[in-house]
A and B are shown apart, each in its own frame.
Chain A
């Protein structure tokens, strides 16, 4: 019976192994991954630092005003301009406020690190709120169709018809200023796109033979949706995560800039908001470094998202 059976391939690759192999071929994506990892480590360091000061119950160094060193330019500029080093060696001087200080003499670099922490918190927490909503509603709408679908489509169309920022502002106002408002505002409004995508994919997969086969085995709806269909559309979730992450970050920056976001902590938005006042007087560094930080993380996430979309799609898998 098994005369001309195909050769058993050495070892079958797992899905993730396969995706990683394809991602590795993409140089640019790898660099983006490196950038994202650096940011993640930075954010984690920021979190540890934050907890440390909280635990010791003292004012963090990045918040402590140091009126002796207001508006210090970045160290490299200072050294190149030959400013007074007050007896410090060049190396030591270079390590002192490398990105300069702000109007209260606080180190810009340290505040950038804290800003990264806030940005990642916002990106992650809003995803934790938005992605499950989008995935679950999308799956239900796509799988059950009919009345359920009508209701969910109505719901997200209504959500989508309200101007996003106003909605976020409204929620943030209701919940009150601070991070919680930002989390809920962004989290509760940004699930629509994902929900739409998932719904469409689930509709497509619902009519595929493997779903009929699963039904023919007597599997329940929940099991078919979440164990059989969801893994097939999960690459969308991952890609959406990488795309909405920078969006959430920029929304937070915007909200904080307007003063209804983060309070009392150095977020990127607050730093931009503060630095714009003295920008025309030549205090360029705070604005510049924050912008670069935002630019890099948004760019890296977007490019990585693109590459992941290609790498993770199960349909693009190569045969053994």
Chain B
């Protein structure tokens, strides 16, 4: 874990409260996000972890009201500096996006416009939000900052002439162009191979130290979380099922789902065996089971899990879990 100055903590820059987002017709909604609340403090790294389709990306995009298509916000708010992002006008949103909150997406090759040189794409972000800076020098500085060799030359490259890792560095440079207070990294390393993954994550935390921005890291890889995130929110079927400081949560997962996820991370040490997985599959968001949404797959389910859905309850210092029968500390079977 990184040393975060105490003063910087406990000063939330963005607070998501009871966020609910539905897709599709109102009669048969797909509940992509349902009652999600969390906050991100200044300079903090928060991870949002979950399987594909659990609503983590949509939650992330909601921070700047970027979800497109037939989506409806049915509840909740996203408070940024005391203003609700979901109620903002288009012009305010444009100021927010890029300037205050910026994004890095999963597929760097797809996130860069194929017909422009990367330098001009970064320059565009600078011109848009910052007046009176030497754009050329600033682009160079940013490319150097994200560790691109020969930036003077690379500025004139097209995206397809770069490797995936390089493209992601360019994306990060673009996201940093306006010195945002919050960087949302939506699976920034999923499309990259493992060595590059480590480099990109290292770069992100390096940059966080230098620039003091907060990071929301979206991932389905719990293994990544331990190294970079201060706190973790585990999502399942559009809701947060467990939250806590990353070290603690990873050491003592309380929700059976988190437990299953951790068990599924392959290990380099120990006995060689079949990879563990969670039985069943993620429920369709339009046909969620009753009660606890995880109960059909839960190894520890009891009859009352099917009744009323459990609340997200405090279960210790800074920790919360949405389960009637959380796994208690020391109860873990040996892995």
Binding site for B on A (CB under 8 A): 1-2, 4-6, 8-9, 11-12, 15, 206-210, 212-220, 228, 231-232, 314-315, 317, 319-320
Contact = CB atoms under 8 A, between A and B. Distances in A.
Nearest to A10: B153
10 contacts: A2-B147, A12-B157, A209-B111, A210-B113, A212-B68, A216-B66, A216-B97, A217-B177, A218-B97, A219-B124
Interface stretch (B34-42, B161-169, B251-259): B161-169
Interface string B107-125: 1001111111100000011
Given A210-B113, A219-B94, 9 more contacts: A4-B195, A5-B163, A9-B157, A12-B117, A209-B106, A216-B102, A218-B95, A319-B160, A320-B157
B141 to A, nearest CB: 16
B111 A218 contact: no
B270 interface: no
Nearest to B203: A1
Contacts of B148: 2, 5
A207 to B, nearest CB: 8
Interface string B133-172: 0000000000000011110011011101111011000010
Contacts of A319: 160-161
A251 B66 CA distance: 47
Contact of B149 (A5, A212, A219): A5
Contacts of B95: 218
The 6 closest A-B pairs by CB, nearest first: A218-B98, A218-B97, A320-B161, A216-B103, A217-B98, A209-B110
Interface of B: 61, 64, 66, 68-69, 93-99, 102-103, 105-107, 110-117, 124-125, 128-129, 147-150, 153-154, 156-158, 160-163, 165-166, 171, 174, 177, 195, 199, 202-203
B161 A9 contact: yes
A320 B112 CA distance: 16
B160 A232 contact: no
A206 B150 CA distance: 33
Contacts of B129: 218
Contacts of B202: 1
B110 A215 contact: no
Given A213-B171, A215-B97, A228-B113, A1 B162 contact: no
A12 B161 contact: yes
B124 A232 contact: no
A214 B154 CA distance: 20
Contact of A6 (B103, B113, B163, B171): B163
Given A216-B102, A220-B94, A314 B166 contact: no
A195 B33 CA distance: 37
B199 A1 contact: yes
Contacts of B158: 12, 15, 317, 320
B113 A320 contact: no
Question: By CB atoms of chain A within 10 A, which of B97, B98, B113, B148 has the most?
Answer: B113
B153 A8 contact: yes
Contacts of A217: 97-98, 102, 124-125, 128, 174, 177
B111 to A, nearest CB: 4
Contacts of B166: 5-6
Given A1-B203, A218-B128, A231-B116, A8 B105 contact: no
Contacts of B165: 5
B114 A210 contact: yes
Q: In this complex, which of A9, A214, A319 has the most chain B Cβ atoms within 10 angstroms of its Cβ?
A: A214
Most B C-beta atoms less than 10 A away, residue of A4, A5, A216, A231: A216
Contacts of A210: 110-114
A215 B67 CA distance: 10
A202 to B, nearest CB: 14
Contacts of A215: 66, 68, 97
B125 to A, nearest CB: 5
Contacts of A218: 93-99, 128-129
A224 B38 CA distance: 31
A23 B287 CA distance: 53
A172 B331 CA distance: 87
Nearest to A232: B115
Contacts of A5: 148-149, 163, 165-166
A5 B168 CA distance: 13
Contacts of A207: 68-69
Nearest to B67: A212
Given A15-B115, A209-B110, A216 B64 contact: yes
A8 B96 contact: no
B199 A213 contact: no
A219 B163 CA distance: 26
Nearest to A5: B149
A289 B149 CA distance: 62
Contacts of A315: 114
Nearest to B112: A210
Nearest to A315: B114
Given A216-B103, A218-B97, A231-B115, A320 B110 contact: no
Nearest to B96: A218
A70 B148 CA distance: 76
Contacts of A15: 115, 158
A6 to B, nearest CB: 5
A1 B198 CA distance: 10
A8 B150 contact: yes
Contacts of B105: 209, 212-213, 216
Contacts of A9: 157, 161
B112 A213 contact: yes
Contacts of A12: 117, 156-158, 161
A214 B177 CA distance: 13
Nearest to B105: A209
A216 B98 contact: yes
B113 A232 contact: yes
A209 B103 CA distance: 11
A317 B159 CA distance: 11
